[in-house]
Every structure is written in C-alpha cells, then in structure tokens.
Amino acid sequence: MENKMIIGNALEIGIQLEYIIELSSPSGLFNFIIDDRLIPGKGIVTDLYVVISSLKDSLNNKLADGVIDIGEIPLDDLDFSNGAPENVLWLDVSELSDYGCVFWLGFDRGFERLFYSTDFEKTIQEKIYPKGTIEKLINSLPDAKDFIIRRINKEVTITDVTV
C-alpha cells in the first residue's frame, strides 16, 4: 500500500502526486483528477520538477499579461486546430503531452472553462469551475525540490513535503 498525495478536492478537481524515484530530478506520478478519472493515468517516471514548474509558469505568465473573457462561446465554435484559440490560455503540462494530454483555460465572467484533450487533440472536453479554482489548484502544487521519499518499510513509501 502506498500513500498518494492529493492536491485540491478530488471530488471536484484535483492533482495526484507521488514521488517515486530520484532520476535527474524528483520523478513519479502526476495525474489530474477530473470526473473520477486519472489523467493521463499512466507514467511512473514523470519529471515532477519539469511538469510542476512548466504548469505554474505557463499559467502565471499568461495571467500576468491580462486575461480576456471568452464568454459563453460554445466549445464546438472554438478552433483548437492551431493551438489555443484566441484569448484561451495554453497550460504547459510538459511531458504529459507525450500521453496525449493537452490543457487550456478560458474565462467566462465568474467561471473558468477548462478545456482538455486526452487523445492528442482529436477530441476536446470541457469542465466549468468557479473562477479561481484552477489557478488556486495549480499554485497550491508544492515545489518538487521539497519532496522527500519516506520509506516506512520495504514495501511502503510515502511522499512528504518539507516547507
């Protein structure tokens, strides 16, 4: 049995993290939890430092540039064929894209519209959350440099975070 770290509210939207092995930097599991699914749901040697820092940087740099509301434009009317549609932020999930995962964030007044694909952009799905949900979730991620693997016994390890 392993203890998994969950950031956010797994019943709404969350992120599963587990530091499994030290390669060139802390590596392990990184999954979004959306609608009772782990996305991408594979990969146990994901570079946690790269994924976390890329995700935070892509969100915060674009938010600093200012956000333009996309309103209630229906998903079917948004063109993702050349990347992020106008006024939609691309969220850099680094190597998770190797598994077909791509994420974007748009805003509609008091709501955030999370667009995502799990099949290399063949299909795009959408979830709507109260404004600030995704920003808070991403910025709540601990820095990978603060992860520690705590071995309980030969079979059990726990990811701890030093802060």
pLDDT in tens, 9-64: 999 999 999 988 888 888 999 999 999 999 999 999 999 999 999 999 999 999 98
Whether the pLDDT of residue 97 is over 60: the answer is yes
pLDDT in tens, 83-94: 899 999 999 999
pTM for this model (two decimals): 0.89
State the pLDDT at residue 150.
79
Q: What integer is the mean pLDDT of 142-149?
A: 84
Of residues 118, 112, 122, 124, the one with CA closest to residue 42: 118
Whether the pLDDT of residue 101 is over 70: the answer is yes
State residue 10 phi and psi, 5-degree precision: -60, -20
